Every structure is written in structure tokens, then in C-alpha cells.
Chains A and B, each alone.
Chain A
Amino acid sequence: DTEVTQTPKHLVMGMTNKKSLKCEQHMGHRAMYWYKQKAKKPPELMFVYSYEKLSINESVPSRFSPECPNSSLLNLHLHALQPEDSALYLCASSQAHLQDRGGNEQFFGPGTRLTVL
């Protein structure tokens, strides 16, 4: 299984709502990532988890709260978002965040398209 799954596919929320994005992989990867992608732009790194611990936070506002309950799951909790947070949120995983001989090939999920009203 070389798939990263994300739910939901689409999400519309108001600025006062609380919602969560979910990501799952069963490739035994121990590094997982959240990216944000605006239209016609490259993905921008938000968070990196390595062995279930947060290793990189790219100065993301606290209204985004990541969680890694176990090695297969990654959540992104959303609260009090702004309209400019509307974007495609991508989850990815890789064999290990720390460099090994194989490098850091990341496998991406299909994303959750988020609209904040």
C-alpha cells in the first residue's frame, strides 16, 4: 500500500468553527508532513512530525494545531480560521525525516480543499 489518504476531500467552515483534517498512511513511514498549497503556487511546508514528535513548525499561526496520535495518523485541528486560510491542505509521509541513504522521498495525499467563509 503506497497510499496516503486524507479526509475530508472538501471542507467549508465559518470563522468561528472548529474542524479537523485527517491523514493516514500504512507504509510504515515515521515522518509525516502538512503542507498548504494556494492556487497556482507550490506547496508550503507547515509542520513536520518525526517519530510522532513535532520537529518543524514553520511559524504557523496557532489557529492551526497539528496532532500525531500514532505513527500512521496525522491530524490538523482548525479553529478560528480566516478567509485567507482557504487553500488545499496536503499531507505527506516519508520513510524517515532524518536523512538516510534513500533520501527523503515524500508521498503525498490528494489533499483537503478548505474554504473559510
Chain B
Amino acid sequence: AQSVSQHNHHVILSEAASLELGCNYSYGGTVNLFWYVQYPGQHLQLLLKYFSGDPLVKGIKGFEAEFIKSKFSFNLRKPSVQWSDTAEYFCAVNARTGRRALTFGSGTRLQVQP
């Protein structure tokens, strides 16, 4: 079974600071990778996804993530955060074969201070 680890549980940044949120997964086969965001009081929205091809993936709102297969990692980055980026961020994995349900990491709460 796959599992997902998000190392940072709570991150506090000032506006314009750079962001990197860690995500590591555990699964022996091929996976699809996702980052979802949940703004306060709102539903889960997809930030970006990786299926194949270029390991550097660009998403909405200036976010990007890099898939490093050798490290089983899919870290989320943004060069300059804004107060509106305050939200909960979830990394998720979906195995390509076998059980194909989405498995979420524990989440990282990002707080951006103006």
C-alpha cells in the first residue's frame, strides 16, 4: 500500500518569502502525484499534478513541484508567497496499478503573515 509523508506540519512565512513544502511517498510501483490546497472554509482544490514527462510541473497561482523519482519526493515550491496563500496543503498519491484510490499526506498548514 502507498503512504505519503509531509514533514512540515505548520509553516509560518512572511509575505514575499519563498516556500518549499516537503512530500515523500512510499510505493514500489508507478504513481501519479498531486498537490491539493484547502483555503479556510473552502473545498479542496487541485494545485498541480504529475503523471509523466517533465518532472518539473507548474500549477495554478505560481506554484510548481518537482518529482524526484530517486528520492520518492514531490516537493511544492513558490518563489514568493502572498497572504492569500494561507491554507492547508495536502500532497496525495495514486498508484497506477492495483489499488488506485487517492492517499493523502497529513497536510501542512501554511500561515503567511502580511
Contacts and interface: CB of A to CB of B under 8 A. Distances in A.
Interface residues of A, number: 25
Contacts of A90: 43-44
Interface string A90-105: 1010000111011111
Contacts of A66: none
Nearest to B43: A110
Given A90-B44, A108-B43, A109-B43, A41 B102 contact: no
B46 A105 contact: yes
A43 B107 CA distance: 10
Contacts of B44: 43, 90, 92, 108
Contacts of A108: 36, 43-45
Interface in B90-110: 90, 94, 96-97, 99-107, 109
Contact of B42 (A42, A102, A104, A110): A110
B51 interface: yes
Chain B interface size, under 10 / 10 to 19 / 20 to 34 / 35 or more = 20 to 34
29 contacts: A33-B101, A41-B106, A41-B107, A42-B104, A42-B106, A43-B44, A43-B104, A44-B104, A45-B101, A45-B103, A48-B101, A56-B99, A92-B44, A98-B100, A99-B96, A102-B51, A103-B51, A103-B94, A104-B94, A104-B100, A104-B102, A105-B34, A106-B46, A106-B102, A107-B46, A108-B45, A109-B43, A110-B42, A111-B43
Given A44-B104, A99-B97, A104-B32, 18 more contacts: A33-B101, A42-B104, A42-B107, A43-B104, A45-B102, A90-B43, A98-B100, A99-B100, A101-B52, A103-B51, A103-B94, A104-B100, A104-B102, A105-B34, A108-B36, A108-B43, A108-B45, A109-B43
Interface of B: 32, 34, 36, 42-46, 49, 51-52, 88, 90, 94, 96-97, 99-107, 109
